[in-house]
């Protein structure tokens, strides 16, 4: 059966995450509805690179679609985007080999988190407005301590009970752009809610409520403090999913759009 690689962006504000749910609107559910509208009763299978939570957005989510149809990919891309709600767009649809798997073949995932330092009339569903003055230098110092291979059990949990909580955090960087702070997180994979807990912990450091040494201690001894500091989903974006042949960008492309 032909397989296609889809690159998707979406505003997750109105959705209960990526994964299909019968009783709630999800990104995957909206895509499945559009596929049926375009292809009719042709059987298909759809797999995503990762499950974003309710309210989380994506600039470059990846999925693969198995469907036996002679409809050219360019035509299908146009028709699917016509069938999808405005909050979801397929950026690219390209044939790929039958062994490609959107989730299992991914080698790194890049997230960005957008913090607003001022109230915005348009940002409620797309940023986290932090009203406190933040010490960005101390946040950056803490971020460097978190990079590398560590046990992040204080910051998240695995989907399967007893799974490994070791994660290679390849990059954790902080950028200040005017009234915005962008936190870029690049890793081999992430535990459930790990990125939001990392962001919330860094913000607490910036507020002066935690020290870098305390945060470093969360890697050595399990703590429930990061679970209490979880950042809201509104500011989180899955920016890019990387595969073996992809060059990894030094900076997130998200910065260019601010």
Placement of tokens 């690689």 in the chain: 5
Q: Taking a C-beta distance cutoff of 8 angstroms, is the pair 205, 142 a contact?
A: yes
Known catalytic residues are 53
- DSSP string covering 57-109, please? EEEEEEEEEEE---S-HHHHHHHHHHHS-TTEEEEEEEEE-TT--TTTT--EE
Placement of tokens 């890793």 in the chain: 187
What's the token pair of residue 228? 């209490």
Q: Which residues pair with 44 in a beta bridge?
A: 67
Please state, in angstroms and rounded to a whole number, the distance separating the CA atoms of residues 203 and 147: 17
- DSSP string covering 176-223, please? EETTEEEEEEEES---BTHHHHHHHHHHHHHHTSS-HHHHHHHHHS--
| HSE value, Cβ hemisphere, 13 Å, CA-based, for 231 | 30
Q: Do you know the residue count of the chain? A: 258
Residue 159's Cβ-count burial label (10 Å; 0-12, 13-18, 19+) is: exposed
Q: Which residues pair with 173 in a beta bridge?
A: 184
């Amino acid at each position: 059966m032909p397989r296609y690689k889809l690159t998707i962006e979406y505003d997750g504000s109105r959705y209960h995450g990526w994964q299909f749910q019968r009783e709630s609107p999800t990104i995957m559910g909206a895509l499945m509805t559009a596929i049926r509208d375009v292809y009719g009763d042709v059987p298909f299978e759809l797999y995503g690179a990762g499950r974003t939570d309710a309210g989380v957005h994506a600039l470059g989510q990846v999925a693969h679609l198995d469907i036996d149809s002679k409809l050219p990919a360019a035509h299908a891309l146009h028709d699917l985007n016509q069938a999808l709600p405005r909050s979801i767009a397929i950026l690219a649809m390209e044939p790929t080999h039958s062994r490609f798997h959107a989730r299992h073949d991914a080698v790194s995932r890049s997230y960005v988190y957008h913090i607003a330092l001022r109230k915005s009339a348009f940002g409620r569903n797309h940023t986290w407005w932090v009203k406190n003055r933040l010490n960005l230098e101390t946040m950056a110092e803490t971020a460097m301590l978190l990079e590398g291979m560590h046990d992040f059990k204080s910051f998240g949990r695995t989907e399967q009970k007893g799974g490994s909580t070791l994660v290679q955090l390849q990059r954790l960087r902080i950028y200040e752009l005017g009234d915005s702070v962008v936190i870029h997180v690049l890793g081999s994979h992430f535990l459930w809610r790990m990125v939001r807990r990392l962001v919330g912990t860094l913000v607490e450091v910036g507020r002066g409520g935690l020290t870098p040494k305390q945060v470093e201690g969360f890697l050595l001894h399990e703590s429930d403090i990061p679970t209490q500091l979880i950042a809201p989903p509104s500011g989180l974006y899955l920016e890019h999913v990387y595969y073996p042949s992809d060059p990894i960008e030094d900076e997130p492309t998200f910065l260019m759009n601010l």
